[in-house]
Amino acid sequence: MERATTMTYERAGRIARITLDRPERGNAITSAMPRELEAFVERASLDPAVHVIALAGNGKGFCGGYDLDEWAEHLMDDKRVDPALAGTVLDPAVQARNHDPAGTWDPVVDFQMMRRNVRAFMALFHADKPVVCRVHGFCVAGGTDLALCSDLLVIAADAKIGYPPARVWGSPTTALWAHRVGAMRAKRLLFTGDSLSGREALDWGLATEAPEPEDLDSRFEALLERIARLPVNQLVMMKLLVNGTLAADGLHQTQVLGTVFDGITRHTPEGFAFQARAAEAGFRVAVRERDEPFGDAGASTHKG
């Protein structure tokens, strides 16, 4: 097993396993995670022994979105910044300064950073091999970008998946909701910020399976093994064939719009108010206060 700072990589037979590994932070997305994901996906794509990629998360849930606390802390401790990113648009300190209400926001700097994250998440979509994502516990906010860019989702019946930042301070940059559940159901989710249970995700066609939690691992492994029986060349061609329909539907243009909108949502009057509340009371409190009127239980340390 190879370990990066945010995830692990392992090949066992015909299956390459990428596992998010920040359980103490709900596997929240840091500045390093998209780059590490992209590198591991490319490794699996180029390995002729790999037939299928398994994406999962350690801990209580799959992914809780962007780690907003981690990004904010970079302002106070520049030593934590990856030297390779220092001073670039991918440097969280640069992004934090660009979002300072006392200064002038440059939407292109914001877009450059988020576009690269989208490209990294879409490495799952464009991977030569099929990607099957295992969702347990929670998959919210930016975490849904990883899940929806995967080819198939196996979601525990009691898991939660959705995009609460649609309420304020976020737009889904990969813009895949309409492609995965249809326009009407995508509007139902994004007009409310509501989430689906695994059972509902199966009913809506988002999940391919929604087993009970105790059966999640066995069903996930059974699907991986079944896919892995096919020749690699067949799998590559079948994935290209189906993905071509999404490209023809204008997915790239929609993602550009979603990524630009994501920056704008953080600079509306409501977005500034949310940011100010987070600065005053912390992101946990700001997110909880945003979501409690909708009946969402619990507080998050992340974007979700």
Angle formed at CA 47 by CA 252 and CA 147, multiple of 5 degrees: 40
Q: Is the dihedral of CA 63, 196, 299, 117 positive or negative?
A: positive
pLDDT computed for residue 19 by the predictor? 98
Residues in contact with 263: Cβ distance below 8 Å, sequence separation at least 6, in sequence order: 105, 107, 110, 111, 114
Name the pTM for this structure. 0.93
Looking at this protein, which amino acid is placed at residue 41?
Answer: V
- The full set of domain ranges for the chain reads 2-294
pLDDT value of position 80 = 54
185 contacts: CB under 8 Å, gap ≥ 6 = 204
238-245 long-range Cβ contacts below 8 angstroms, 24+ apart = 239/127, 239/128, 239/129, 239/130, 239/151, 243/125, 243/126
pLDDT of residue 192: 98
Phi-psi region of 130 (alpha: psi -120 to 50; beta: other; left: phi over 0): beta
CATH number for 2-294 (one of 3.90.226.10, 2.20.25.240, 1.10.10.10, 3.40.50.1370): it is 3.90.226.10
For 52, the token pair is 């299928």
**Tens digit of each residue's pLDDT, the chain (304 residues):** 999 999 999 999 999 999 999 999 999 999 899 999 999 999 999 999 999 999 999 999 999 999 987 665 444 444 455 677 788 887 777 887 887 777 889 999 999 999 999 999 999 999 999 999 999 999 999 999 999 999 999 999 999 999 999 999 999 999 999 999 999 999 999 999 999 999 999 999 999 999 999 999 999 999 999 999 999 999 999 999 999 998 889 999 999 999 999 999 999 999 999 988 998 998 889 999 999 999 985 444 445 4
Rounded-to-integer distance, Cα 73 and Cα 80, Å: 9
pLDDT for the residue 77: 45
